[in-house]
Amino acid sequence: MGAAFLAGGLLTATPAVAANLLTNPGFEAGSLSGWSCSGGTGSVVTSPVRAGSGALAGAATASDNARCAQTVTVRPSTAYALTAWVRGNYVHLGVNGGAATWTPSASAYTKLTVSFTTGASQTSAQVYLHGWYGQGTYHADDVSLDGPGGGNDTQAPTVPGNPRVTGVSATSVSLAWNAASDNVGVTGYDVIREGGTTTSVTGTTATVTGLSPDTRYIFTVRAKDAAGNTSPVSIAVVATTAQGGGGGDRFIQAAPYLYLGWGNPPSATEVMRSTGVRWYTMAFILAQNGCNPAWDSQRPLLGGIDQSTIQAIRAAGGDVVPSIGGWSGNKLGPNCATPEALAGAYQKVIDAYDLNAIDVDIENTDEFENAAVQDRVLTALKIVKQNNPGLKTILTFPTYISGPSSWGNRLIERAHALGADIDNFTIMPFNFDGHADMYAATVTSTVALKDKLRSVFGWSDAEAYAHVGISGMNGSSDVGEITTAQTWTRIRDWANANDLGRLAFWSVNRDGPNWEFTRITAGFTG
């Protein structure tokens, strides 16, 4: 696999098209620039966001509905579309003196849309968002007023500079480029895949997904401004995706857990910028109404905060692996009656996000200590791996200090007997006796896992370690064991020295505000 530049990309101008006319539409400036909010009720927050690094928070009170507005120049007798993603109670979106819409309750980001046509002599329009009196804070993100600009701005942005490939997998390519400039302001970029789709982003990075393994692709980038002017396309950049399964490429992943269903989760992209981490293990996908996957058994795969967070992570050059299962909750393994049904549930998750990897966190008596469910999980993973070339599969399970339990040994032995072709066996070396030396305990249990894999699969030490992962717990474990940042650094360095395949910890939610463990984990190179 590799990447190279193709000099002499297309340099012809592109006609102006409709574009977002709003300033700071995704609040990525980190301020309310372009917006005016009543009574000082508006602010920009980093969580919860739909995409990017910021979102609007409107603190509605008993006497103020937290109205935030922006006025733009428009053309007379012209159709426009106004959209926004909102969450909260009684959130309104509209045009001053014109059309409006609202939602009574949105627990996750929900899209509102308003269409309107300007008057015969109208040259400006004020768009607004507001909550309702006494209903508390609402959030809004990615507001768009789509249509032709009304001013005299006919100057296109400059060409984005230095397009480059920053990463490839079997099914995706990550790109970055230098920002373009504009006489008024650049509002976004289009990444154009030759002969394929266009990916639109607001920043200077993007991850294009849905690609085929071991395939050559050509990309160009163009900038756009609020008036609908677009730059010439950049020089082209060429990338070749990684080989799929069986290609011999090592699977290496530094992926701390991020749990959007717990407390006040941090901004994934803010943590990425602060620490350099690129992968997240997203928790937890459980069963809803039988054999149907949903986040925490409640939130749908598409259309909510989970999907928007994944999109933001990928736009920032990262990726995710969903964690299916866990210690508690209603799990897919016991609820799906056959391996084929369970594979179908896994496939829904894979298709929803065009995944490169999935993790099944198999714990407790309902899955881990259940022979029938163990075999069902392994067979289902074998099916989805056969149906999705290049997909990587992970099993995460508990351990003793001495190594896998009898149930852990069975899981490994059955993975071999069933030909499940698992890419990584990740143990959770914590919750031992409450007084463990966490470095020594982690190393001892991991070496024992390596020895078991070597014995069962006939691998060398190096081959076995390449299939081993560690998922620790930062700070205090459930039984009071303490893993300090210094200890976690020693564990990471030992994992690097032995070329392990994966490093994770529970969790980024518990790591703020300095993200010390996340930063250490980002230094895992396998």
Catalytic residue positions? 363
Spatial distance between the Cα atoms of 514 and 123, rounded to a whole number of angstroms? 48
Residues 297 and 332: beta-carbon distance below 8 Å: no
* Number of CB atoms found within 10 A of residue 149's CB: 22
Task: At 116, give phi and psi (nearest 5°).
Answer: -155, 160
Burial class (CB in 10 A: 0-12, 13-18, 19+), 458: exposed
As given in the structure block, the two tokens for residue 218 are 């050509």
Q: Which residues contact 279 (CB under 8 A, 6 or more apart)?
A: 253, 254, 255, 318, 319, 320, 321
> What is the rounded radius of gyration, in angstroms, for the C-alpha atoms of the chain?
25
Distance, first Cα to last Cα, the chain: 18
Q: Which of 425, 296, 446 is nearest to 359 (CA)?
A: 425
Residues 144 and 82: beta-carbon distance below 8 Å: yes
Spatial distance between the Cα atoms of 156 and 231, rounded to a whole number of angstroms? 5
Burial class (CB in 10 A: 0-12, 13-18, 19+), 459: middle
Q: Tokens 């979106």: give the residue.
A: 93
Verify cis geometry, omega within 30 degrees of 0, for the bond prior to 455. no
322-332 burial, b for 16+ CB within 10 Å, e for fewer?
A: bbbbbeeeebb
Residues 325 and 284: beta-carbon distance below 8 Å: yes
As given in the structure block, the two tokens for residue 249 are 């490429």
Residues 168 and 1: beta-carbon distance below 8 Å: yes
Triad 173, 178, 183: Cα angle to 5°: 130
The whole-angstrom distance between residue 204's C-alpha and the CA centroid of its chain comes to 17
Q: Which residues contact 103 (CB under 8 A, 6 or more apart)?
A: 86, 90, 91, 110, 112
Spatial distance between the Cα atoms of 368 and 410, rounded to a whole number of angstroms? 10
Residues 91 and 242: beta-carbon distance below 8 Å: no
Residues 384 and 413: beta-carbon distance below 8 Å: no
